Chains A and B, each alone.
Chain A
């Protein structure tokens, strides 16, 4: 498939059988669009253990240069990180906040 945004691809531009010839097509799709809630980290209580990063099923959490963690554009807002955080430093807030 072409490198165009997905909603601009014409039927003629799709490979036979919708085969993808380049890897990493999922990277171009920001699944974060789906979420209605997202996690927020309280850095005062975060011990930078990385459990949130480990348990995220969608690689939706990235390590920041300072060693703390934050969500990225693939976070769907499932809240597993909130449940698993050992210090309870993550909370879910509505997407509009």
Chain B
């Protein structure tokens, strides 16, 4: 029997890691990820989690240490945010190329400068192409569920890829929510101990991280690309298994009142719950509007997205990050690429919202929909809008 409890989402994530029986953790505290790793540190110190907790002097060291620990065959976890993710950037590519199934929570936060500790998706969008599996979660329950499922996905021998769970800093990481916690027995049954494909073992030595000459670098990258794309099926299989056990099912693109909607909003992370409120109110006012919530970010769910927008006339993509000087903000760029070859694709409109902790209320989505509708008729005034910017 599961039990229901109210808990801060960061603490719930640390319990998910504990229940997943993580064996090795190396982390450096950074706001707003801090509560997760502080709590894990206490659990290890109190003997509530049988794991090595390595205190390091930077995030670059945290990820490097995680690589070493994962390479020995230990189930390995870490968490970071913003500047920390940027500092570990070099190592993130190595982790995925080594195909080490490390699980990391990123409590999404705006990148400096100017210095901000508050939420947006600028940190992870700058690490978009690191070759990890990446998902976004919307609430505490999803944060817990996906933290457990991530280990099972990452450690599958057909996958063997590190995995990031993105959860919005503060507005999700620091709120207290009611969540269902499964029994340890269920988690143990769902997630057996990690069996590495290769590990650093003197009895059976291997070389990891060898130099690649121009003759083979391309082939190694091709293998990585194929693995990340093919991970899609395994991710869905694990989500289904968890759904059958818990009753909580997840999809790469979640829909909210989207079937038959003429206008679709697309959001990621916990803004989706705010957008749901706005959709309810707009529906009551007679507007045929629905919501798509992009859960799976890497591999990008091209087919799911195409199917989800089928029949819609207008798709409004809400990004929480900029691509300065680029063609489009990151999510819009992917969405447009996904739809470019579709004969009956909807018009797209682009709004950047919630940068650096700027609060987004349901009214914002109503204004966005109204503006996008007007521009769908008259033509857009700008390639994309930074919503609510003054001046």
Contact = CB atoms under 8 A, between A and B. Distances in A.
Nearest to B160: A16
A14 B223 CA distance: 8
Nearest to B205: A23
A26 to B, nearest CB: 8
A21 B216 contact: no
B97 A17 contact: yes
A17 B100 contact: yes
B216 A17 contact: no
A19 B197 CA distance: 10
Contact of B207 (A12, A25, A29): A25
A97 interface: no
B216 A9 contact: yes
A17 B98 contact: yes
Contacts of B197: 16-17
A63 interface: no
Chain B at the A interface: SS class: loop
A19 B216 contact: no
A: interface residue count bin: 10 to 19
A9 B99 CA distance: 19
B219 A19 contact: no
Contacts of B160: 16-17
A25 B210 contact: yes
A29 to B, nearest CB: 7
A19 B206 contact: yes
B197 to A, nearest CB: 6
Contact of B99 (A1, A10, A11, A16): A16
A69 B11 CA distance: 67
Contacts of B389: none
Contacts of A17: 97-100, 160, 197-198, 208
Given A6-B213, A6-B216, A19 B223 contact: no
B324 interface: no
A20 B216 contact: no
A7 B215 CA distance: 5
Interface string A24-50: 010001000000000000000000000
Contacts of B212: 18
A15 interface: yes
A14 B220 contact: yes
B215 A19 contact: no
Contacts of B99: 16-17
B128 interface: no
Contact of A11 (B207, B208, B220): B220
A13 to B, nearest CB: 8
Contacts of A11: 219-220, 222-223, 226
Nearest to A10: B219
Nearest to B98: A17
A89 B104 CA distance: 59
A20 to B, nearest CB: 4
Interface in B200-241: 205-208, 210, 212-213, 215-216, 219-220, 222-223, 226-227
B75 to A, nearest CB: 17
B257 to A, nearest CB: 42
A18 B210 contact: yes
Give the most central of B97, B205, B216: most A CB within 10 Å: B216
Contacts of B198: 15-17, 19, 21
A33 to B, nearest CB: 10
Interface string A43-60: 000000000000000000
Nearest to A12: B223
A19 B219 CA distance: 13
A34 to B, nearest CB: 11
Interface of A: 1, 6-7, 9-12, 14-21, 23, 25, 29
Closest 10 CB pairs of A and B: A17-B99, A20-B207, A11-B222, A11-B219, A7-B215, A6-B215, A11-B223, A17-B98, A19-B198, A18-B220
Given A10-B219, A17-B208, 20 more contacts: A6-B213, A7-B215, A9-B215, A11-B222, A11-B223, A11-B226, A14-B216, A14-B220, A16-B157, A16-B160, A16-B223, A17-B97, A17-B160, A18-B98, A18-B210, A18-B212, A19-B208, A21-B198, A21-B206, A29-B213
